Structure 1
């Protein structure tokens, strides 16, 4: 493993242990070149996934990109990092076990929307505002109105 600080290719593993949900191996590493310590994670990958963009462009699936987008939506929301990690692992497993190696970006976006809707309603609206390309306040209003249950006249 290459050191992210100095680029030395000869780093040493000092400690290895499974993550809390046993979905990855956490390794603490040491670089003898610069003395830096850093952590890496090793995960099982069932298949190489390719994301097909709406433009037709293809790019390798990036788990970290999915994690970043959900973290942005969940910023300052009461969802802890472990729960988010489990949700991401679940989404990636669903994609890998779908049987398809090429996944449309729209399908990934819809899966994230469904997940966030049950995880945190504010994060769901935040993500939807980017995913559905809200242009003005009325777009938010219309979207939220669709979410709110109709008042009952009892």
Structure 2
């Protein structure tokens, strides 16, 4: 594993343990050249996924991009990082096991919406504002009103 500090090719694993949800192995490493320590995560990847964007554009699925978008929606909501990791791992697992290696970006967005709806209503609305491309305050009001009504039903 290449050192992120000095770019040396070799590092030693000092400690390995599973993450809380068991979906990855956390490894503490030390660079043999500069002595810096850093952490890596090893995850199971069932298949290579391709995201189908608008206008038939394709790009490789990036777990970190999915994680970042959910973290932004959950910012300052008191949601444990481990819970967010678990949510992302669950979505990735769903995508990898559904059979088709090419996935519409809208399908990924819908999975995130479903997951956030059950986790936190504010994070759900934040994510929806980007996913559904809210243009004005009324869009937020209408959507939040629907969320509130659904919660009462």
TM range (shorter): over 0.9
1:65 corresponds to which residue?
65
Count residues in correspondence.
151
SS in 1 for 2:55: coil
- What residue is the counterpart of 1:101 in the other structure? 101
Deviation at 1:130, TM superposition (A): 0.7
Offset at residue 65 of structure 1 (A): 0.5
Residue 138 of structure 1 aligns with which residue? 138
In the alignment, does 2:20 pair up with 1:16? no
Q: Using the alignment, how far apart are the partners of 1:19 and 1:71 within structure 2?
A: 18
The CA deviation at 1:34 is 1.6
Cα distance in structure 1, aligned partners of 2:109 and 2:51: 11
Q: Within the alignment, does 1:116 sit opposite 2:116 as a pair?
A: yes
**Corresponding residue number in structure 1 for 2:88:** 88
Structure 2 unaligned segments of length 5 or more: list them.
none
Listed one character per residue, the Cα deviations across residues 48-84 of structure 1 (whole Å, up to 9, x for unaligned) are 0000102211111000100000000000002101111
SS for the counterpart of 1:5 is coil
For residue 5 of structure 1, report the CA deviation from its aligned partner.
Answer: 1.0
More off after superposition, 34-43 vs 140-149: 140-149
Do the aligned partners of 2:121 and 2:147 also contact (CA within 8 Å) in 1?
A: no
The alpha-carbon deviation at position 22 of structure 1 amounts to 1.5
Answer whether contact 1:54 1:106 (CA < 8 A) is retained. no
- Indicate if the aligned counterparts of 1:12 and 1:31 stay in contact, CA closer than 8 A: yes
| TM-score, with length taken from structure 2 | 0.95
Would you say the 8 A contact 1:52–1:104 is kept in 2?
Answer: yes
Structure 1 gap segments, 5+ residues each: none
Task: State which drifts further: 16-25 or 89-98.
Answer: 16-25
Offset from partner CA, 1:10-36 (integer Å, 9 cap, x none): 111111111122111111000121221
Q: CA RMSD in A?
A: 1.3
Structure ranking higher in helix proportion: 2
Q: Give yes or no for the alignment of 1:55 onto 2:55.
A: yes
